[in-house]
Amino acid sequence: MTPSKMIPKTVFSTFGLAYCKRFKHPTISPVSLDYRKSFQVWAPLCYPVVEFKLTDIGEGIKEVTVKQCHIKQHQKVSQFEDICDVESDKATVTITSRFDGFVKKVHFQEGDVIAVGSTLLDIEVDDQPQNADVANVVPESVGKIEANDDKHTELSAIKRQQSTVEDEGVVTEESGASGACEKALATPAVRRIAKEHGIDINDVLGTGKQGRVTKEDVLVYLNQPRLDAGQPQPCELQKAANTSRPITAYRKVMFKTMTESNKIPTLTLSDEMDITHLEALRKTLKSDLQADKVKLTLLAFVVKAISLSLQRFPILNATLEGETINYASYHNIGIAVDTAAGLVVPIIKNVQQLSIRQIAAEAQRLQSLAADGRLSLADTNGGTFTVSNIGSIAGTVVKPLILPPQVAIVGIGRLRHLPRFDHNDEVKKCSVINASWAADHRVVDGATVARFSNAVKRYLENPGLLAIDA
């Protein structure tokens, strides 16, 4: 009698370790540091396996992209230990474990897009799981049966597809020489015509259903000039030219937001602003902030000037929900940041309470987090107005798109040094930028935008007023 038959399975879960010491099981070491690895064959009998799922992380997020994995299969895991970093269309979130246990299986890889509620890990827990997780306990034997069923279903589907193609009288063929091209679909009659003219059916681009090669396709191919033997064939050219990649989380939110933005009837206005005095002041103050490692940029002055002007024109600091205008008492101004993953707009909160120095420091912090992909949901939610500093890259005049539910946005053009007439009609060198405004014309009229632009212009051309009115 083998040792496994001498003790019932239900008894083994309680007396397994003592049993191994008593009978000196040749394949199980009772002195192993991780005894579950030694008793792996009996693990389902002793420890429940829990499906650790991706829970709802809020803000209506339905799916996320795995940015970094911190756990591996066959590894111990503890409560609150980092499992992975996931990136949504709004922020990056770290998922942590709710159990102490042993990772039996990892269901994801870096770069995978996973939906909320999907299983991340199978964890063999140390203790009995709570009631909320009991339903997710999965015996290993059941998992194996389900896996076999999936394979059987997949094979059946392939057979059905093959039989369907045969019933329609369509023949598929691999490229004989290199195998680089896809299978060609064609009826026997079309294939015979191609053979009579010495044409490889795989070289003909099919225009029929599911890429099927028709008689007309063969005739068109006959009238085309032939490629030299050393040149790549049409299917190879097509494969080399076409590539695909999934949209990143940042680009997904940009895709959705810009689609909605394009439906807004937008009023646009652009004006030139002479910031010669402001640039001189900024360069003077710049050295004073270097000790604090704060970079004093033009953006900080623009954001503060906008905040002071919004106090006089609160309609431009509102959000539109259906047919209701919500006037915000705070100025949460978003700054568009270009990152490798796409456009993201972190928010400088309560600008009306911040100094220019504090605005510069906060903008620098948010831009650093955005570049590293570490913005939180709090950093990207609640904006009431947006600034796009596109001029830091290129361009003088731009037509910015509003980020709904906001009603206004500004795009700042490139700083240029141009000759201009002063109040004495004398030509002098000036530092000039263009501010391009866009507003929702359903709730904001052109006169309001023009007056608001003049208010911002007054602050930027007379920087001393920023200190007086702040």
Residues annotated as part of the active site: 441, 445
Structure tokens at 444: 């904001």
Structure tokens at 104: 């039996």
For residues 125 and 101, the answer to whether their CB atoms sit within 8 Å is yes
- What sign does the dihedral 444-448-452-453 (CA atoms) show? positive
In residues, how long is the chain? Answer: 470
* Number of neighbours of residue 343 by Cβ within 10 angstroms: 16
CA dist., res. 187 & res. 172, Å (int) = 9
Q: What is the dihedral of CA 17, 20, 21, 24, to 10 degrees?
A: -160
Identify residue 2 by its one-letter amino acid code: T
Q: In this structure, what DSSP letter does residue 137 have?
A: B
CA dist., res. 404 & res. 321, Å (int) = 9
CA dist., res. 385 & res. 318, Å (int) = 8
308-333 as b/e: b if 16+ CB within 10 A:
bbbeebebbbbbbeeeebeebeebbb
Per DSSP, the residues of 164-218 read HHHHTT-EEE--SSS--SPPEEE-HHHHHHHHHTT--GGGS---SGGGEEPHHHH
| Distant-in-sequence contacts of 201-209, Cβ < 8 A, 24+ apart | 201/173, 202/173, 202/174, 202/175, 202/176, 202/235, 203/233, 203/234, 203/235, 205/234, 205/235, 205/238
For residues 334 and 244, the answer to whether their CB atoms sit within 8 Å is no
Burial of 359 (0-12, 13-18, 19+ CB in 10 A): buried
CA dist., res. 378 & res. 346, Å (int) = 9
Task: Map tokens 């509003």 to a residue.
Answer: 402
Supply the angle between the helices 215-222 and 188-196 in degrees, to the nearest 10: 20
All residues at 6 or more sequence positions from 122 whose CB lies less than 8 Å from its CB, including other chains: 49, 50, 51, 52, 103, 104, 105, 107, 138, 143
Interior angle at CA 224, CA 218 and CA 228, nearest 5: 110
